């Protein structure tokens, strides 16, 4: 039997029309994305200059792609605070203080660079209602790789309109390993807070980094994925 839903988990919004996700091919050019990160204050969080961040981005291959911020440059919890929706800043749920322990799954190999590109990102609306446990092997069978939670946050920094009520997404490329070697049953996700429970009324409508059980179905959460990743040439 699947665990009961988390008390602050998203609830279906059947009366809220879903919108098509933005086309990732319409992402700004990489240099423009880097400028966006500078505007948001990422260099200050990383302890580097704006020019250094722009130089790191300039080292990446040419062509389209999402500019992802590796957690070694800025911890995901800090990066999440830069998300914004309708003037409200993003936040991490109070019972995910161990977010830094959610690392890439064994099938994911990051480029090992502070900034890197993620190709052909999608929200995964066609998998709404799947469980994370079933979605991971299905994505692999399709030749896709699930986004890590830092990649998901990076996407929302560039295209905040990706996050909508009734169709948000999980980032199951990040999982926490137990001391015994197994996986924590929580899976990271990004959605819009309803301002209930421990989220607080002040966070209603804000982008939220939370979690859902790996064995549960969520009809309003897809599975964000990409076709691959590219680091500096």
Q: What is the pLDDT of residue 23?
A: 56
CA geometry: angle 109, 168, 42, nearest 5 deg: 60
Instruction: Provide the pLDDT for residue 21.
Output: 56
Taking only the tens place, the pLDDT of each residue in 99-131 is 999 999 999 999 999 999 999 999 999 999 999
- % of the chain residues with pLDDT over 70: 89
Stated as kind and residue range, the H or E segment containing 155 is: helix 149-158
Domain parsing of the chain, residue ranges: 24-230
Q: Which pLDDT value is given to residue 7?
A: 45
């Amino acid at each position: 039997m699947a665990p009961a839903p988390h008390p602050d988990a998203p609830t279906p919004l059947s009366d809220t029309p879903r919108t098509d996700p933005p086309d990732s091919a319409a992402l700004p050019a990489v240099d423009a994305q880097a400028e966006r990160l500078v505007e948001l204050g990422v260099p200050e969080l990383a302890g580097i200059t704006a020019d250094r961040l722009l130089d790191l981005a300039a080292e990446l291959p040419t062509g389209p792609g999402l500019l992802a911020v590796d957690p070694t440059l800025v911890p995901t919890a800090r990066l999440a605070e830069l998300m914004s929706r309708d003037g409200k800043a993003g936040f991490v749920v109070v019972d995910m203080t161990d977010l830094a322990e959610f690392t890439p799954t064994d099938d994911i190999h990051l480029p090992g660079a502070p900034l890197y590109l993620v190709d052909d990102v999608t929200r995964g609306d066609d998998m709404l209602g799947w469980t994370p446990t079933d979605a991971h092997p299905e994505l692999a069978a399709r030749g896709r790789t699930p986004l890590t939670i830092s990649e998901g946050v990076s996407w929302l920094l560039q295209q905040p309109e990706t996050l909508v009520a009734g169709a948000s997404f999980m980032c199951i490329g990040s999982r926490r390993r137990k001391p015994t070697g197994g996986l924590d049953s929580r899976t990271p996700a990004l959605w819009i807070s309803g301002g209930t429970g421990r989220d607080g009324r002040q966070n209603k409508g804000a982008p939220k980094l939370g979690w859902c059980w790996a064995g549960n179905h969520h009809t309003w959460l897809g599975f964000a994925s990409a076709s691959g990743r590219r680091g500096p040439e």
